[in-house]
Chains A and B, each alone.
Chain A
Amino acid sequence: MQSPLSLLELNQLIQQSLDTNLAPSYWIIAEIGEFRDSPRGHAYLELVEKSDKSIIAKIRANIWSYTYRGIASRFSSITGQNLKAGMKVMAQVSVQFHEVYGLSVNIKDIDPNFTLGEKARKRQETIDLLTKEGLMDLNKQFLLPKVPQKVAIISSANAAGYGDFINQVAHNRNDYKVHGKLYQATMQGDQAVQSLIMAIEQVEADLIKENFDLMVIIRGGGAQLDLDCFDDYQLAKTIACTSLPVVTGIGHERDESIADMVAHTKMKTPTAVAEFILSGFRNYEELLETYFKQIERHVAYQLQKEDRKISNLEHFLKSIAQNEIQRGKDMTRMLEQRITSQSQHILKLKYKELLHLDSGIKKSVANILNNEQSRLNTLNKDLQRLDPYTFLKKGFTRTEIKGKPINNLTLKDGDELITYTLSKKIKSTVNSIEENEQ
């Protein structure tokens, strides 16, 4: 049986074996399991290797302060972040064994380019997962509101970017009114992801009450450090699954974060987000103006059409009226001719009648006059016949007694007679009376 060794002897043996068999340094790939700074400026870490989230290897590590200062500044300038737990690194280490403190590695160098590549790989993994889950374009399926008037703003009240956004929106040329409500969130660092997710969930909770049209996530200013939160899977998933279209304005230093990619629209800066929202207003106003112009054109066209219709009707009516008038004129002319010819006919008849009457009257008058004439002539002849001078002229005489013709008297002797001749008046006395036998 081998004689027993003291613990120190064993530990020294381990140390010698390690020194003999191991190279002075190795490049290893490991994940930082724990990380803490010491007051003296050293860094104490735990390096782990995982397989399906369970640790399959683990070792303590340290970086002495002098080395740490150089490594840390180079690392953050290249990767944009500080060394921290959860990060995969490629480190140059030398294996140490201390009799009291046991096995550890001393980190001499860390290759930031590995971490950068690792970060890109992780990022790609996140993108692939989101794509596989159909979350990459989910938010893009929303139609942007025509006029986003109520906007949920996820930002930090102290961020310069938030001020830029508010200022740009408030002082727009067209005096558009955008109502924004701020949901405070930590926009960088370790707490950012959780804080952002909570803020988004709060917006979701207020959605019905506030009636939001749009969500914006904005930050600006600040270091480019710690923007990794916007590459986080959970945050990306939360953004993709919101009930509102999301517009990001996270910062312009880097190309594109995963948050930008899952958002509906990505703008570089908060000012650009404000301008984007305002451009929605402007587009809508221009659209309205276009509609107004179209309506105006249409109305003008319709008016013109109606005008033409009316004037056609007017012409039509005019021509109908003229036709009617012409017909009326023709009719009256015809009636006039008929009346004229009829009246001429009647006149002719009446004239004939009149002529007939005239000649009748003339005849009657002539008859009457003739009758009267012959009556007068008869009377005149009677008068001439009865005129005493007519028979006196012929040598006859007329004898009277006391003014009475004797032929009607009874004569006696001694009666005094007066006998008239044409030129003489003879007085005589009756001597004898005898009968005339002749």
Chain B
Amino acid sequence: MSNKDNFSYDKSISRIEEIVSQLEKDDKSIDELSSLVKEASTLVKACKSKLRMTEEDILKAFGDEEQ
């Protein structure tokens, strides 16, 4: 829970972009690459989930208002 609470979408996106640029430089070992990709894909998932939740929250909030 605390991980979720501390989760920052903006920081995650920055991290993903940083990883992408690192990957694009192609100066890391395969092991490093692998872990970077894993980290990035985890972050992507988290970000997607965050987006979904945000959408839901917003819809829910407006839906409540409409009632």
Structural contact, A383 and B30, CB atoms closer than 8 A: no
- Indicate whether B41 reaches chain A with its CB closer than 8 angstroms: yes
Structural contact, A362 and B33, CB atoms closer than 8 A: no
Encode A363-404 as 1/0 by CB contact (under 8 A) with B.
001100100110110011011001111000000001010011
Encode B15-37 as 1/0 by CB contact (under 8 A) with A.
01101100110110111011001
* A325-373 at interface with B (beta carbon < 8 Å): 358, 361-362, 365-366, 369, 372-373
- Which residues of chain B are within 8 angstroms of A432 by Cβ–Cβ distance? none
Beyond A376-B48, A388-B30, A400-B30, whether A382 also contacts B20 by CB under 8 A is yes
Structural contact, B34 and A372, CB atoms closer than 8 A: no
- Which residues of chain B are within 8 angstroms of A369 by Cβ–Cβ distance? 51, 54-55
Q: Complex formed: what's the CA distance from A373 to B52 in Å? A: 9
- Indicate whether A233 reaches chain B with its CB closer than 8 angstroms: no
Interface size class of B (residues with CB under 8 A): 20 to 34
Number of A-B contacts (CB under 8 A): 72
* CB < 8 Å neighbour of B44 from A365, A383, A398, A405: A383
Chain B: which residue is nearest A405 at the CB level?
B26
Beyond A365-B58, A369-B54, A400-B30, whether A383 also contacts B48 by CB under 8 A is no
Structural contact, A388 and B34, CB atoms closer than 8 A: yes
- Which residues of chain B are within 8 angstroms of A375 by Cβ–Cβ distance? 13
- Which residues of chain B are within 8 angstroms of A380 by Cβ–Cβ distance? 41, 44
- Indicate whether A420 reaches chain B with its CB closer than 8 angstroms: yes
Structural contact, A379 and B62, CB atoms closer than 8 A: no
- Which residues of chain A are within 8 angstroms of B40 by Cβ–Cβ distance? 379, 383
Chain A: which residue is nearest B32 at the CB level?
A403
Q: Complex formed: what's the CA distance from A388 to B37 in Å? A: 9
Interface of B: prevailing SS: helix
* CB < 8 Å neighbour of A404 from B20, B27, B34, B37: B27
- Which residues of chain B are within 8 angstroms of A373 by Cβ–Cβ distance? 48, 51
Interface of A: prevailing SS: helix
- Which residues of chain B are within 8 angstroms of A405 by Cβ–Cβ distance? 26-27, 29
Q: How far is the CB of A325 from chain B (nearest CB, A)?
A: 42
Beyond A365-B55, A372-B51, whether A386 also contacts B62 by CB under 8 A is no
* B1-17 at interface with A (beta carbon < 8 Å): 9, 13, 16-17
Structural contact, A383 and B19, CB atoms closer than 8 A: yes
Chain B: which residue is nearest A355 at the CB level?
B66
Q: Complex formed: what's the CA distance from A362 to B55 in Å? A: 9
Q: Complex formed: what's the CA distance from A400 to B27 in Å? A: 10
Q: Which of B26, B30, B65 has the most CB of A within 10 A?
A: B30
Q: How far is the CB of B31 from chain A (nearest CB, A)?
A: 8
- Which residues of chain A are within 8 angstroms of B55 by Cβ–Cβ distance? 365-366, 369
- Indicate whether A410 reaches chain B with its CB closer than 8 angstroms: no
Q: Complex formed: what's the CA distance from A403 to B30 in Å? A: 8
Structural contact, B30 and A420, CB atoms closer than 8 A: yes
Q: How far is the CB of A130 from chain B (nearest CB, A)?
A: 128
- Indicate whether A408 reaches chain B with its CB closer than 8 angstroms: yes
Structural contact, A383 and B58, CB atoms closer than 8 A: no
Structural contact, B30 and A379, CB atoms closer than 8 A: no
Beyond A358-B62, A365-B55, whether A376 also contacts B44 by CB under 8 A is yes
Q: How far is the CB of B27 from chain A (nearest CB, A)?
A: 6
- Which residues of chain B are within 8 angstroms of A379 by Cβ–Cβ distance? 13, 16-17, 20, 40, 44
Q: Which residues of A contact B (CB under 8 A)?
A: 358, 361-362, 365-366, 369, 372-373, 375-376, 379-380, 382-383, 386-389, 398, 400, 403-405, 407-408, 420
A-B contact pairs, 18 of them (CB 8 A): A361-B58, A361-B62, A365-B54, A369-B51, A369-B55, A372-B51, A376-B47, A376-B48, A379-B13, A379-B17, A379-B44, A382-B20, A386-B20, A386-B24, A387-B37, A403-B31, A404-B27, A408-B26
Q: Which residues of B contact A (CB under 8 A)?
A: 9, 13, 16-17, 19-20, 23-24, 26-27, 29-31, 33-34, 37, 40-41, 44, 47-48, 51, 54-55, 58, 62, 65
Known A-B contacts: A358-B62, A361-B62, A379-B20. Give 4 more (CB < 8 A): A361-B58, A376-B48, A400-B29, A405-B29
Shortest 3 CB-CB contacts between residues of A and residues of B:
A386-B23, A403-B29, A382-B20
